[in-house]
Amino acid sequence: MENLIDRKNLSEVVAQRLSEMIRSGEYKLEQKLPIESDLMKQFGVGRSSIREAVRTLENSGMLRVQQGIGTFVASQNAMTEPLAKRLQTAGLADMQEVRELLEMKIVEKAAINRTAEDLVLMKSLLELRNKAADHNNLQDWLEADINFHMAIADASKNIILTELYKTFIEQQLKKSIADTYSQQIPLHRFTALHKKLLDCIVDQDPRKAVKVVVEMHHQE
């Protein structure tokens, strides 16, 4: 059996071999993989190694497991590293570009879909942000600013967009803002624009909300 492997990091090696077979087209998109017992014979490993390898490729997006039916090829391109980890090493210019694009769509959707409860939360967070700026309290200002933008993301009512933005903001935005404002830049620099953004969301004016976000980024 040419696919037999040494008993060292078995599940990792099986996952690597399977991913290579999928990328090469040996296993095609939406094709069902052999059953566990056949994969065990093919690679010469135990059931636990096969299951762990499949779980690894499922988490990467390459495989899809349907209970009671089988395991299928979901993609020929695995996510090589988690998004959160990739964001930690991304360049500042790339981060700023993606942040602007995300925020443009988020404020557009928030202006359309926000609820009265969303507005109450956003207003309270903006007040906290401004109060922290009054006292030049960077840590409290950061927390309130980030929570304000997260509240807007929640108001968009798009779960995928919200989760993507939260992953982005938690991993990189807090660091980039801290780095920027620790350089003695006034914390009230964008206070007026944040108030203007909130007013656009209150008025349910997505076009103006997007314009405010673009203006913010152009002034950074």
Joined tokens for residue 180: 């920027």
| pLDDT one-digit tens code per residue, 196-211 | 999 999 999 999 999 9
Q: Supply the pTM of this predicted model.
A: 0.65
* 144 three-state secondary structure: helix
Q: How confident is the model at residue 1 (pLDDT cuts 50, 70, 90)?
A: very low
Q: How many domains would you assign to the chain?
A: 2
* Least confident residue range of 8-22, 95-109, 153-167: 8-22
Q: Which residues, other chains included, contact 120 with Cβ-Cβ below 8 Å and sequence gap of 6+?
A: none
Q: What is the 3-state secondary structure (H, E, C) of 166-209?
A: HHHHHHHHHHHHHHHHCCCCCCCCCHHHHHHHHHHHHCCCHHHH
Kindly state the average pLDDT of the residues 142-149.
Answer: 91
Kindly state the average pLDDT of the residues 43-63.
Answer: 89
User: Which residue range(s) make up the domain with 134?
Assistant: 83-219
Q: Which long-range contacts (CB under 8 A, 24 or more apart) does 58-62 make?
A: 60/19, 62/19, 62/22
Joined tokens for residue 51: 């299951």
- Which of 49, 73, 97 is the last residue in one of the domains? 73
- Residues 120 and 18 grouped into a single domain: no
